[in-house]
Every structure is written in C-alpha cells, then in structure tokens.
Structure 1
C-alpha cells in the first residue's frame, strides 16, 4: 500500500528551510524528522533563495551590484580589444612581409 504524503503549508516549509540553514543541523536528519526526502528540502531552499534574492552557497550565477556589473563589462570589452589588437598586429606583420616575387621596377 502506498504511503500518504503530507502537504506542508508555506509557513511549515519556511520553518524547515530556516532550520536547514543552521550549521549544526543536517538536511538528512531534518528530512527524516519531517518525513520528506532530502531533495525536497533542497528544492524548498532553492525557492526560498530565489524569492528572497539570496545567492546560494557558491553555486549558480553570482548577483552583482550595478557598479560590479559595469566593471565586469568593461573588463570583458578590454579583453576583446586586446585580442583584436593582437590579431591585427599579426595580420599586419604577415601582409607587410615581402616575398621577393613582386618588386618595384
């Protein structure tokens, strides 16, 4: 016979997520205690992070302030400009070499 799943309210989920964020509590212990799978708690945590605009523990896309984003964009443009410059330098050196076939009269 299949086991009935308990529906958790938003407040209950929030409480479990807050408990899971403390350093001294293991998610697997919480999952066992509340009768859910550990992945469920991780999913609830993920939703909590998204709703509150919190960057998760080192994974995913890092949230940057407006100034940090502008600095990152400028650094990217600078890298691209250096790459273009290096390519043009190589092209100029290739085209400026005379191979001796065509000489001026």
Structure 2
C-alpha cells in the first residue's frame, strides 16, 4: 500500500498522513526533532527565564536606588 492509498482510506490528504508519520517517528525517537513534551518544557523554561530576568532587573534597580539613598551628605543641598 502507498501513502496515497492509506490516506484515501482514512479520508485525509496524503501530506497530512505524511506529517503524522513524521511526527510519530520523532515522538518514538526514530528521527531527530523536538517532541511535544520537549516543546512544552522549552516554552515553560523560556517563560520562566523571562520572569527571572524581569525580577532581576527590578532588584538591580532597587539596589541602585537604595545605594543612592544611602550616600553621605543626604539631606544637604546639591548644586
């Protein structure tokens, strides 16, 4: 049987069946590529990295602000 015959039996386009077979081969580890689980994990990791970068920036700005507030001569007039 050919891909075209099987696709016709399933009522799908041959390219759809071919993509399903390629995805199954990746999921089974027979072909290189990213599995769905790895894709989900990667998206979650990227989201976490963005959040940590934002938190880091807030802390950096807070530290800079607090170090300026604790400078000697606070309360004196500056020119």
TM (norm. structure 1) is 0.37
Q: Which has the higher helix share?
A: 2
The answer to which structure, 1 or 2, has the higher relative contact order (CA under 8 A, 6+ apart) is 1
TM-score w.r.t. the length of structure 2 is 0.46
